[in-house]
Chain A
Amino acid sequence: MEKFIIWLLPLPPLLSFFVILLFTNKRKALSHGIAVGAAGLSWLGSMIIFIRALGVEGFGKQVFGSSINWLPTGSTWLKVGVQIDPLSAIVVFFVAWTVLAIFVYSIGYHNFGQPKGDHDVAGLPPQGATVTEHGHKHSVPSIEPMYSRFFAFISLFAFGMYTLVVSDNLLTLFVGWEIMGLCSYLLIGFWFGKPSARNAAVKAFMTTRIGDVFMLLGIAFVYSFTSSLSFSEIFKPDMLQALASTPAFFGLSAAGIIGLLLFIGTVGKSAQWPLHVWLPDAMEGPTPVSAMIHAATMVSAGVYMIIRMFPLISAGWTEGMPLNTTMSIIAFIGAFTALFAATIAVAQNDIKRVLAYSTISQLGFMIAALGIGAYVAAAFHLVTHAFFKALLFLGSGSVIHGMEHGVLHTGDHVDPQDMFNMGGLRKKMPITFWTFLIGGFALSGFPVLTAGFWSKDEIFAETFGNGHLAVFIVLAVAAFLTAFYTMRQITLTFFGEPRTKAAKHASETPWTMTVPLIVLAVFAVGFGWVGIPEHFPGLGGLIPNWFHEFVGGTLTELPKAVEFSWVPLITSLCVALGGLFFGWLVYRKVKSPKQDFLQIPVLKNKWYFDEIYNFVFIKPASWIAEKFTSLYMDQTVIDGLLHSVARFSLFLGDAFRNYFDKPVINEFFGDGTGNVVKASGSGLRKIQAGRIQYYMVASVTVLVIFALLYYFLIGGL
């Protein structure tokens, strides 16, 4: 029964995609109804699975799974199938909730129920419609022209994510991965009329593609080594042993290389340094897209995949050993990215950009945790992050919507996304304010009450407890910066007085947008409590560390809970509370960017990485494409070669014609024969003179000659 439901989980969004695209594109209410209904069906299935999974003792050993023979390969079959083990049960849980919340949110975000815009064009964001209300005209937000298309795309996106989560083999995981890559392109470039959106979509696709190529190499390597792509096959202990002990390239074992290659896929998909450049630009898409891609689903998929691959990465490693090369690289990149992105986030003024860099940073936390072997901590932070980041993004979308309402109402055309144009919104948009606050605190790791605290604390505990001090310090600094910029964001947006007319007239958003915020806020607060470590002072032991038991059961050996130590706890409290306090302190007085001391060009310009990449990669690639390949190679060399072949053929043809065909064949043989015949004819025809005596003389002459010949040669009469 469970197997049946698991197979069907990805199906409703897929059907919704096709139905909306093919049939209901013109009917907006029907489209969103189908989409939300499909998300709801998948949510229902996910909840059933999750609850069933909870009920199974020792679920890690008795997973729900089913597979079919799919591709015949010689004497065996490549199997594809589905599997729900503890890790994927948790992931499917948060995916179901966030996807449903985002779908419902999108109805309000795209202004369902509002009139059509005056100058709205498909491909550009809606610009507002003029309505006459109580006497005077003013603009109100207008409905998105490509409304149904949006729901079709996010349905496809949901399908991709569900496929990825429920798959039990690398092949269908990769299929889901790529579908999400496609959808991120489609959705980031949703407003295709904007050049910035188009470029951002291409950038996202290209950058993640780089990661995907390496991931595909890794998958190929796995298949060639193990002749299978199923997790259950790959993670068999003897298979892992073989992988760990077979040396491969660059001094790494096979497991190490495969892990590294797959990790590069994660680097691309989860926007870690150095492939982080696409995520901030991806804010060009509508906010639900940002929430979906960059919080709930797509970037989480990268982390999920690498968490899933943990047995492979850590093959040959046990707790207490120094990290193997792959894990060290992973930990380094994770920690570095966490700090790096946090430093950029403090200098951003666009409300969504701050969140984008924040996502990169938090993903770095997860990956660093996994790199040092903290399996459960990484998974825990993944789940809690999904909830509060989705909450924050949707909240920011709500803020932007309120600002846009103010912009249209007052005609004061300011950028509704710039935080320095906001201020005092807590009075205007209370629900948004409180839910955003909860999300922000969760992100910063506000103690006890927020889920972010528990997951971040666990990461600190693991890094410190296992002796990875470098990682610990880096993550601590990053956590401080996280709290700092989060409070900066909240202060600038919600506290103080409105700084523009638009902000003065901002209003709360409809229930379709605020109810999902509330739902996610509940999770952002409550989810942390399922993972309280046992030895936590005071609260530890009251509630069993269900998360650790449950998710840890995915591995063959339950990971040991780390020993409790005060250092990480104190650090965590300090950085979180300190960051929040300082952020509020500094920014309650700041009214404009000029007063913001953190507007350092290096930070504001993202450490100039975009420029570096442009110089190092894009320009040479363009040069190669335009100048080298197109102009030199193709037009000059290849076309030149073809042209010279053609010219040579023409030359040969002409030569043959003029030097052989005409003089020899035509003149000598053709005309010559004719002329010879003519000449001989005109000569010989004179025989027929028409004069009888001439004939007679001739015949008698010949007769006499023959007679003489006969007489003299043959002799006799």
Chain B
Amino acid sequence: MTVDQIIFILCAALILGSALMVVTTGKLIHAALWLVAALFGVAILYAILQAGFLAVVQVVVYIGAIAILFIFAVMLTRREMLDKGAQTRSNWWLPALLGLLILTGLVFLIIGQPAFGRTAAEMPLGVDTLRNLGMALVSQNAFVLPFEVASILLLAALVGAVFVASGNNE
């Protein structure tokens, strides 16, 4: 057990634990907050994986925008539900079973591949991940097109969300 591994395990426990709390807690606002914790754990994981930019983006976008959005939505629809009664459906065992099965299958598959047992190679020297990412996003023979399309998608989502949520009452 190297130090990395211990840190990894702690991080993993944070993530999974938070995730479990997300899906099982009775109060919705707690679920949103537990989601923040899980996302935070994922950011730490990105940092461990030396994708620093992504870690920051995770925190800023996911936690700073999306999770906040969730909290807003919970607040706006709070009158209903009011956290009374069971929050999971009555046949929750079936999804649980399914989840377990899928997990088991995937673990099986992963362990079955010896290639996945390797450890990471050293980062090559002189690789500036940030700069490379920037270049990849905007250079013609790289990923400029998906980048632009994603932008348009965001635009569409923006307009759509505004329209839908504005609720033009006839």
Residues 695-717 of A at the B interface (beta carbon under 8 Å): 697, 700-701, 704, 707-708, 711, 717
Does B160 sit at the interface, judged by CB under 8 A?
no
Q: Which residues does chain A contribute within 8 Å of B98, judged by CB atoms?
A: 697, 700-701, 704
Q: Does A697 lie within 8 Å of B95, measured CB to CB?
A: yes
Complex Cα spacing A717 to B94, Å: 25
- Measured CB to CB, the closest approach of chain A to B93, in angstroms, equals 11
Q: Does A717 lie within 8 Å of B112, measured CB to CB?
A: yes
Pick from B89, B91, B102, B109: contact of A704, CB below 8 A.
B102
Does A693 sit at the interface, judged by CB under 8 A?
yes
Does B105 sit at the interface, judged by CB under 8 A?
yes
Q: What count of chain B residues pass the 8 Å CB interface test?
A: 10
Does B66 sit at the interface, judged by CB under 8 A?
no
Q: Does B105 lie within 8 Å of A707, measured CB to CB?
A: yes
Q: Does A704 lie within 8 Å of B101, measured CB to CB?
A: yes
Q: Does B94 lie within 8 Å of A701, measured CB to CB?
A: yes
Q: Does A697 lie within 8 Å of B109, measured CB to CB?
A: no
Q: Which partner residue on chain A sits nearest B94 by CB separation? A: A697
Residues 109-167 of B at the A interface (beta carbon under 8 Å): 109, 112
- Measured CB to CB, the closest approach of chain B to A509, in angstroms, equals 120
Q: Which residues does chain B contribute within 8 Å of A693, judged by CB atoms?
A: 89
Q: Which residues does chain B contribute within 8 Å of A704, judged by CB atoms?
A: 98, 101-102, 105
Q: Which residues does chain A contribute within 8 Å of B105, judged by CB atoms?
A: 704, 707-708, 711
Pick from B91, B95, B101, B109: contact of A717, CB below 8 A.
B109
Q: Which residues does chain A contribute within 8 Å of B95, judged by CB atoms?
A: 697, 700
Q: Which partner residue on chain A sits nearest B101 by CB separation? A: A704
- Measured CB to CB, the closest approach of chain B to A313, in angstroms, equals 122
Q: Which partner residue on chain B sits nearest A700 by CB separation? A: B98
Complex Cα spacing A704 to B96, Å: 13
- As a 0/1 sequence over residues 483 to 494 of chain A, the CB contacts with chain B under 8 angstroms (1 = contact) are 000000000000
Complex Cα spacing A108 to B118, Å: 153
Q: Which residues does chain B contribute within 8 Å of A708, judged by CB atoms?
A: 101, 105
Q: Which partner residue on chain B sits nearest A705 by CB separation? A: B101
Q: Which residues does chain B contribute within 8 Å of A711, judged by CB atoms?
A: 105
Complex Cα spacing A410 to B89, Å: 133
- Measured CB to CB, the closest approach of chain A to B130, in angstroms, equals 37
Q: Which residues does chain A contribute within 8 Å of B101, judged by CB atoms?
A: 704, 708
Complex Cα spacing A700 to B112, Å: 23
Q: Which residues does chain A contribute within 8 Å of B102, judged by CB atoms?
A: 700, 704
Q: Which residues does chain B contribute within 8 Å of A701, judged by CB atoms?
A: 94, 98
Q: Which residues does chain A contribute within 8 Å of B91, judged by CB atoms?
A: 697
Q: Which partner residue on chain A sits nearest B109 by CB separation? A: A717
- Measured CB to CB, the closest approach of chain B to A386, in angstroms, equals 122
- Measured CB to CB, the closest approach of chain A to B104, in angstroms, equals 10
- Measured CB to CB, the closest approach of chain B to A714, in angstroms, equals 15
Most chain-A CB neighbours within 10 Å: which of B89, B101, B105, B112?
A: B101
Q: Which residues does chain A contribute within 8 Å of B109, judged by CB atoms?
A: 717
Which 5 residue pairs of A and B lie closest in terms of their CB atoms, listed nearest first? Answer: A704-B101, A700-B98, A704-B98, A697-B94, A701-B98
Which residues of B pack against A, CB within 8 Å?
89, 91, 94-95, 98, 101-102, 105, 109, 112
Sample of 18 further A-B pairs with CB below 8 A, known A700-B98, A701-B98:
A693-B89, A697-B91, A697-B94, A697-B95, A697-B98, A700-B95, A700-B102, A701-B94, A704-B98, A704-B101, A704-B102, A704-B105, A707-B105, A708-B101, A708-B105, A711-B105, A717-B109, A717-B112
